[in-house]
Amino acid sequence: MSHSRHDSSASSTMSSSWAVRLPQLWQTRHWQVRFLLPLSVLYGAVTGLRRWGYRMGLLSSYRAPVPVWIIGNLTVGGTGKTPLIQALVQQLQDRGVRVGIISRGYGGTGPFPHRVRQDDTAEQVGDEPLMLCQSLNANPNENLSVNESRSVPIVVGPDRRAAIELLLKETPLDLIISDDGLQHYALHRDVEWIVMDTARGMGNGWLLPAGPLREPQDSHPAACLLWNDTGLQVSQDLEHTQPPAKGTLNIEKPLTGIQPNVRPIEPPLERSSVRLSMRLEPGSILALGRAETPQPQPPQRVHAVAGIGNPQRFFATVTALGFEVVEHAFPDHHAYVREELKFTEPLPILTTAKDAVKLSAFSDLDLWVVPVSAVLNQAALSAVDEALARLGIGPDHNPDTH
């Protein structure tokens, strides 16, 4: 029996290690990912046939009674999509827009559809929806009749239509943001924003599983492209920066292994002369574990724990704050167990807000959260106003007509 448990543990460790290493390999054309190219060809054929079916009207899309704004990725994870949604919701609320969020609830067990509340668990609803709920709604289980203009209802479920119907049943909205869902063509979308990591770009330019691409680069030619410039030396005057030229990656310090001939996505047609971008800025470190322990201070040595799409970005953020970092990378959406946080060196543990919704169960540990917020450049803010004007949502808009 003990031998069986050992084998299971070893298998789990190897699986986790590969899940962390694969995104790094996607930045190269290493032989280990070249072996996966036949599967990428098959994946591309199947997904391409599906897109063709929707384009030709052979498959139908559900059109919601209110506009839907997709925030999604062409690549797998780690682009900063969730902080962007937080920032976008706040911008929309500042403009008087009543907004709700739908999400697949990746990793959650349901039942679905389900409206997310602060006392839910990540196991039920997924880590990202729970983080959004806790960050955007001040009071647990807030009734919509209380401070309705600032509450943000969030519904999760793989059936986006059912999620939208539940969302609208509980509260009137002007706009729905879909967290991810760029490839969910069964849902009609009125606005598409694609988030790209400037450092990693399109990686090796190959489709899954040999590369990070969920779709070919030209699948959404009319979508707005927003670059996450976090951690890079880019122009300070971002709103006047030209989009990346064809055949180049718009970075000054590319990651080791990125192929120089990998072509980034074409600049969106309506943004041919303006570059939409954002940066992630860390906030004050917050206590998650034992309150009696002193807050870590630079240049203190700390453990940095991250189970997100791009753990290296978090490690770089903690390092930039002045800490000496011991890195612990886990797969995206990782379900932690206590033993994984029992490190030989007894140091404070710093983690992400996304990981915090799962690590809060270990409150007896010396845990601290480093939250980040997305700061949009002026071009992105202008794009928000232009999108609302195009949708007919603004000061003269009558929300009761929906």
On whether both 264 and 294 belong to a single domain, the answer is no
Q: Which helix (H) or strand (E) holds 71?
A: strand 68-72
Same domain, yes or no: 216 and 327:
no
The answer to whether position 130 is within a domain reads: no
Q: What is the pLDDT of residue 265?
A: 40
Task: List, for residues 248-297, the tens digit of each pLDDT value.
Answer: 223 223 323 333 333 344 343 344 468 999 999 999 999 997 767 899 99
The average pLDDT across 36-52 equals 96
Same domain, 275 and 288: no
Percent of the chain surpassing pLDDT 90: 66
| Domain shared by 327 and 379, yes or no | no
Residues spanned by the domain of 190 = 68-98+172-279+375-401
**Per mean pLDDT, which range of 9-18, 37-46, 358-367 is the poorest?**
9-18
Averaged confidence pLDDT in the chain: 83
**pLDDT tier at 361, thresholds 50, 70, 90:** confident
CA–CA dist 319, 398 (Å, integer): 48
State the pLDDT at residue 273: 67
Q: What's the structural domain count of the chain?
A: 2
Query: Which of the four pLDDT bands, split at 50, 70 and 90, describes residue 74?
Result: very high
Position 60 in a domain: no
* Top-confidence residue, 8 or 109: 109
Provide the pLDDT for residue 397.
Answer: 56
**309 vs 240, higher pLDDT:** 309
Same domain, residue pair 269 and 231: yes
Same domain, yes or no, for 297 and 357? yes
Rounded distance between C-alpha atoms, residue 279 and residue 323, angstroms: 20
- 119-134 per-position pLDDT tens digit: 999 999 999 999 999 9
d(CA 152, CA 146): 12
- Report d(CA 251, CA 254) in Å as an integer: 6
Looking at the structure, tell me whether residues 271 and 289 fall in a common domain: no
Kindly state whether residue 106 falls inside one of the protein's structural domains. Answer: no
Please check whether residues 263 and 386 belong to one and the same domain.
yes
Indicate which CATH number applies to the domain containing 364.
3.40.50
Rounded Cα distance between 89 and 63, Å, is 21
User: DSSP strand E in 218-369: where?
Assistant: 224-228, 276-282, 286-287, 301-306, 324-329, 349-351, 367-369
Residues 320, 232 within the same domain: no
Answer yes or no: do 275 and 289 share one domain. no
Could you tell me if 225 and 326 lie in one domain?
no
pLDDT, position 230: 87
In this predicted structure, what is the pLDDT of residue 178?
98
The whole-number pLDDT of residue 232 equals 55
With a cut of 70, say whether residue 15 has pLDDT above it.
Answer: no
Residue 147 CA to its chain's centroid (Å): 27
Q: Are residues 304 and 385 in the same domain?
A: no
pLDDT at 359: 94
Find, among 94, 86, 167, the residue nearest to 128 by Cα. 86
pLDDT of residue 392: 95
Distance, in Å, from the CA atom of 125 to the CA atom of 110, rounded to the nearest integer, reads 6
Write down the pLDDT at residue 6.
42
Mean pLDDT check: name the lowest of 67-76, 93-102, 144-153: 144-153
User: Is residue 345 a part of any domain in this protein?
Assistant: yes
